[in-house]
Amino acid sequence: MSELDELKDLLFGAEKQALDSIAERVERRDVRAADVADILPEAIHQSYQKDGELVESLTDPIGECLQNAFRDDPETYGDALYPVMGPAIRKSIMHALRGFAQQINEAVEHSISPKGLKWRWQASRAGVPFGEYMLQKSLLFRVEQAYLISRENGLLVGHVHHEASKIKDSDAVSAMFTAIQDFVKESFSPDRTGRLESADMGEFTLWAVHGPHALLVCVIRGVPPRSLRGELSSILERIHFRYGEAIREYKGDTSSVPDVEVELERCLRFEARQEETKNKKGKSAFAVAALVLLLVTAAFFGFRSWNASKQHAALEAALTGVPGLYVSAVERDGRVFSVQGLRDPLAPNVVDVAARVGIAAEDLDVSMQAFQSLAPEMVATRAKRILGPPSGVQFDVSGTALIVEGDAPWAWQQRLLSSYKSIAGIETLDDSGLTAGDRERIIATVKDMNGQQFFFDSGITLVTESDDALAQYAADLGETAQNARRVGFMLAVALNGSTDGIGDAAANQTLARNRAVSVADVFRNNGLDVSDSGRLANDEIASEQTVDANQRYVQVELELIPLPHSP
């Protein structure tokens, strides 16, 4: 040891030992490591508490370490992560499937529901694909685009957008928004501290969130909740934390802000419109029931209306073809048919006509005025009603002529002749086809009975056979006389007495007369009014000078004399 060293020991002994100790700790790697290890946990903790710089600093090296470790020993880390990855993957798949199923449900529901049909029509009118239109209607809000813009120069730092969004030149949009922002600030903020924070454009809302070096502009479809602004602010803060310095110095080189889009992706949030799911089934069932009820009701009333229309037409047709009915109006009020017009009392009843087409009397409101129809059918009917023709007699009307055919009693025909002109619509009578059978029969009977002879034995005593025959003849003749009067004839009876001419002519003359009188008496006893019409046959006999026992008779001469017509 040199004197100098000794002197140092004397003067700085303690300090020198401390310096040596420090030097040893600095020079010796193991000691330094032990010291760092001693304070490292506390240092990390303090650094982390102080700011986020430690995390930022460790992100890349730790990331690289992990990459190397996973690459070198994937099996070990795979095993270690298995308990975490399995549930995470399942959760992710379930989430994706749930979303997919929800989309399918909504698509199906909206495709066939009235609302879906309405949307489809509206989408067609707007020229927008149905899927996109449905999404617009189904979403409460969706962040369509997010622009991260440098506040310094308005350059676009990063931009993300939803797949379905229509994107124009994002750099131009970014610049223009900055220009507008500058314009608003310079124009309307006296101290130039104001900021444009939101703008509305039709269905879109622009929200601008301002950071120290960048502003985050989000294009939002729908109505975003207020809480979204806070979430966007957090994202912007995080971006500033990661890229603050790079953004401040940003001059247009996107490589200086790597993966900034990953952060921006978190802005693309959306929220579906909440349907009232609790009541949805109930409402749906109610809607279906209401729809069914509506359809049934519509079908019922439709059928009833159709049926009523059909009945209406049938009733009009039925009433139009009926003689004696003149229908001026057939109207329907609900189920009741109102019929107005004129009706001949002899025409069919409206109720009866309606019944034939299936309309009940209670569904009719008939208001018909009486009138006398001159339709041929009605004139014929009226003639029948007035004249009361016997069966077998046919009435017809041609123009103003009443045509009567068939066989009718002579007396009825007399009434026909006297009264046909009193029937409205009848001026002439055609009775050429009309016969009077009863009159013909009387004529025939009288013809048969005419010339009957009753023989006498002697004097005024009839032979036995003639006596009986005379009685019967007288009875028949009485009846015939009555019947002849009924058919317009008076029966004239003349009796011609005859003798055989033997003996005194005067006596024979008397005898002949007496014989005629005796027969006449028999006729009178049967109600016949016989005039004195006896003749003497012996005039001829005498003149012929013949004597014939067969000439002892009385011969009946009958004649029908028409009675004058009744006026």
Partner 1 sequence: MTVVTSKVCVVGDFAVGKTSVIERFVNNQFSDKYLTTVGVKVDTKEIEHKALGISHKLVIWDVAGSDRFGHIELAYLRGANGYIFVADGTRLPTLRAARDLYQQITEEYGSAPCVLLVNKNDLTDQWNVRDERMEELTAHFGNTYRTSAKTGDEVETAMTRLSELIVDNDFRNE
Report residue 552 as tokens: 């002892």
User: 177 vs 523, which CB is nearer to partner 1?
Assistant: 177
Backbone angles phi, psi at 268, to 5 degrees: -80, 70
State in angstroms the smallest separation of the CB of 156 from partner 1.
Answer: 7
Binding mask 91-110 for partner 1 (x = CB under 8 A): --------------------
Stretch of 95-103, 181-189, 331-339, 513-521 lying at the interface with partner 1 (CB under 8 A): 181-189
The binder of partner 1 chosen from 9, 35, 186, 465 (CB under 8 A): 186
Report residue 481 as tokens: 């006389």
Contacting residues for 74 by C-beta, under 8 A, at least 6 apart:
none
Nearest to 518 by CA among 482, 466, 562, 483: 466
Type of residue numbered 457: D
User: 168 vs 281, which CB is nearer to partner 1?
Assistant: 168
Quote the distance between the C-alpha of residue 290 and its chain's center: 16
State in angstroms the smallest separation of the CB of 15 from partner 1.
Answer: 50
CB 147, CB 217: distance < 8 Å: yes
Element (H, E) at 478: helix 464-486
188 binds partner 1 (CB under 8 A): no
Label the pairing between strands 364-370 and 336-343.
parallel
CB 405, CB 434: distance < 8 Å: yes
Report residue 380 as tokens: 């014929």
State in angstroms the smallest separation of the CB of 101 from partner 1.
Answer: 40
CB 142, CB 269: distance < 8 Å: yes
Q: Quote the CA–CA distance of 9 and 6 in Å, as a whole number.
A: 5
> Contacts with partner 1 in 116-175 (CB under 8 A)?
150, 152-156, 169, 171-172, 174-175
Nearest to 441 by CA among 410, 406, 416: 410
* Bridge partners for 200 per DSSP: 205
Nearest to 562 by CA among 489, 487, 482: 489
State in angstroms the smallest separation of the CB of 171 from partner 1.
Answer: 5
State in angstroms the smallest separation of the CB of 195 from partner 1.
Answer: 13
> Contacts with partner 1 in 22-81 (CB under 8 A)?
none
State in angstroms the smallest separation of the CB of 239 from partner 1.
Answer: 18
State in angstroms the smallest separation of the CB of 278 from partner 1.
Answer: 50
Q: Quote the CA–CA distance of 8 and 31 in Å, as a whole number.
A: 27
Q: Quote the CA–CA distance of 24 and 50 in Å, as a whole number.
A: 32
The binder of partner 1 chosen from 2, 49, 187, 391 (CB under 8 A): 187
Q: Quote the CA–CA distance of 39 and 10 in Å, as a whole number.
A: 35
User: 252 vs 433, which CB is nearer to partner 1?
Assistant: 252
User: Coil, strand or helix: which one is 524?
Assistant: helix
The binder of partner 1 chosen from 18, 31, 126, 179 (CB under 8 A): 179
User: 174 vs 551, which CB is nearer to partner 1?
Assistant: 174
> Contacts with partner 1 in 232-291 (CB under 8 A)?
251-255
Report residue 179 as tokens: 């220009």
Nearest to 501 by CA among 465, 564, 545: 545
User: 251 vs 281, which CB is nearer to partner 1?
Assistant: 251
Q: Cα separations (Å) of 373 from 329, 386, 424?
A: 18, 15, 9
User: 187 vs 545, which CB is nearer to partner 1?
Assistant: 187
User: 246 vs 366, which CB is nearer to partner 1?
Assistant: 246
Q: Quote the CA–CA distance of 337 and 459 in Å, as a whole number.
A: 92
State in angstroms the smallest separation of the CB of 217 from partner 1.
Answer: 15
Stretch of 46-54, 63-71, 180-188, 431-439 lying at the interface with partner 1 (CB under 8 A): 180-188
Q: How many residues bind partner 1 (CB under 8 A)?
A: 24
Q: Quote the CA–CA distance of 350 and 347 in Å, as a whole number.
A: 9
State in angstroms the smallest separation of the CB of 218 from partner 1.
Answer: 20
Only one residue has tokens 């790597």, namely: 258
The binder of partner 1 chosen from 82, 183, 286, 301 (CB under 8 A): 183
Q: Quote the CA–CA distance of 505 and 499 in Å, as a whole number.
A: 9
User: 156 vs 325, which CB is nearer to partner 1?
Assistant: 156
User: 150 vs 498, which CB is nearer to partner 1?
Assistant: 150
Q: Quote the CA–CA distance of 292 and 289 in Å, as a whole number.
A: 5
User: 248 vs 332, which CB is nearer to partner 1?
Assistant: 248
State in angstroms the smallest separation of the CB of 246 from partner 1.
Answer: 12
The binder of partner 1 chosen from 96, 112, 176, 417 (CB under 8 A): 176
State the DSSP code for 532. S
User: 158 vs 389, which CB is nearer to partner 1?
Assistant: 158
State in angstroms the smallest separation of the CB of 252 from partner 1.
Answer: 4
State in angstroms the smallest separation of the CB of 133 from partner 1.
Answer: 31
User: 157 vs 511, which CB is nearer to partner 1?
Assistant: 157
CB 480, CB 523: distance < 8 Å: no
State in angstroms the smallest separation of the CB of 284 from partner 1.
Answer: 51
Quote the distance between the C-alpha of residue 260 and its chain's center: 64
User: 63 vs 252, which CB is nearer to partner 1?
Assistant: 252
The binder of partner 1 chosen from 16, 118, 192, 280 (CB under 8 A): 192
User: 145 vs 518, which CB is nearer to partner 1?
Assistant: 145
> Contacts with partner 1 in 324-383 (CB under 8 A)?
none
Element (H, E) at 459: none
User: 197 vs 253, which CB is nearer to partner 1?
Assistant: 253
State in angstroms the smallest separation of the CB of 266 from partner 1.
Answer: 23
Q: Quote the CA–CA distance of 353 and 355 in Å, as a whole number.
A: 5
Nearest to 150 by CA among 173, 169, 176, 178: 178
Q: Quote the CA–CA distance of 183 and 203 in Å, as a whole number.
A: 24
State in angstroms the smallest separation of the CB of 264 from partner 1.
Answer: 16
The binder of partner 1 chosen from 8, 137, 162, 185 (CB under 8 A): 185
- Site for partner 1, rule CB under 8 A: 150, 152-156, 169, 171-172, 174-176, 179, 182-183, 185-187, 192, 251-255
